[in-house]
């Protein structure tokens, strides 16, 4: 019965790239406990890391006085993550496509593309400082 109850949590994380570790481990453990596949766990892990780096670097601009708030809910069917920084926000439509032309050879700018590729639903708040992303649980591949 307890395994069917959704896991809900809200954490406040410092604006350091390495600060995500403990929260990330908790989220991935919750996914494993709910029977998400290794591919799901890889996808959520990657999206979390990319979203957090964006929040810390581009949102809070590494300001140690600013925090990132991560709210997440994991149930039997999906994980929903909402990540909010204290930055001014941005317009995701203005981020150039890193797969096109000279952008392909730029060392940065692939985080949002990967988040969109690995999560099933990705949306930003109007201000652009809060990201909501959802991934639905995959069906496990039958063995044999």
Q: Give the span between the Cα atoms of 80 and 119, in whole angstroms.
A: 10
Residues in contact with another protein by CB under 8 A are: 17-18, 39, 42, 45-46, 49-50, 53, 98-99, 104-108, 110-111, 113-114, 117
Closest approach, Cβ 44 to another protein, in A, equals 12
With contact defined as beta carbons under 8 Å apart, do 38 and 46 qualify? no
Which of 19, 14, 130 lies closest to 67 in space, CA to CA?
A: 14
Closest approach, Cβ 98 to another protein, in A, equals 6
CB nearer to another protein: give 45 or 66. 45
Which of 66, 56, 64, 50 lies closest to 108 in space, CA to CA?
A: 50
Q: Give the span between the Cα atoms of 20 and 68, in whole angstroms.
A: 10
Closest approach, Cβ 126 to another protein, in A, equals 26
CB nearer to another protein: give 45 or 137. 45
CB nearer to another protein: give 42 or 127. 42
CB nearer to another protein: give 8 or 61. 61
What is the chain's alpha carbon radius of gyration, rounded to the nearest angstrom?
16
Closest approach, Cβ 77 to another protein, in A, equals 23
């Amino acid at each position: 019965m307890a395994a069917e109850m959704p896991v809900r949590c809200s954490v406040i994380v410092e604006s350091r790239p390495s600060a995500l570790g403990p929260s990330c481990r908790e989220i991935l453990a919750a996914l494993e406990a709910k029977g998400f596949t290794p591919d799901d766990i890889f996808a959520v892990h990657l999206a979390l890391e990319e979203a957090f780096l964006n929040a810390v670097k581009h949102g809070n601009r590494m300001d140690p006085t600013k925090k990132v708030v991560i709210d997440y809910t994991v149930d039997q069917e999906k994980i929903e993550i909402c990540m909010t920084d204290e930055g001014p926000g941005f317009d995701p439509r203005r981020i150039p496509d890193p797969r096109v032309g000279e952008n392909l050879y730029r060392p940065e700018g692939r985080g949002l593309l990967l988040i969109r590729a690995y999560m099933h639903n990705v949306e930003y708040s109007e201000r652009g400082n809060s990201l909501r992303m959802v991934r639905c649980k995959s069906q496990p591949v039958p063995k044999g």
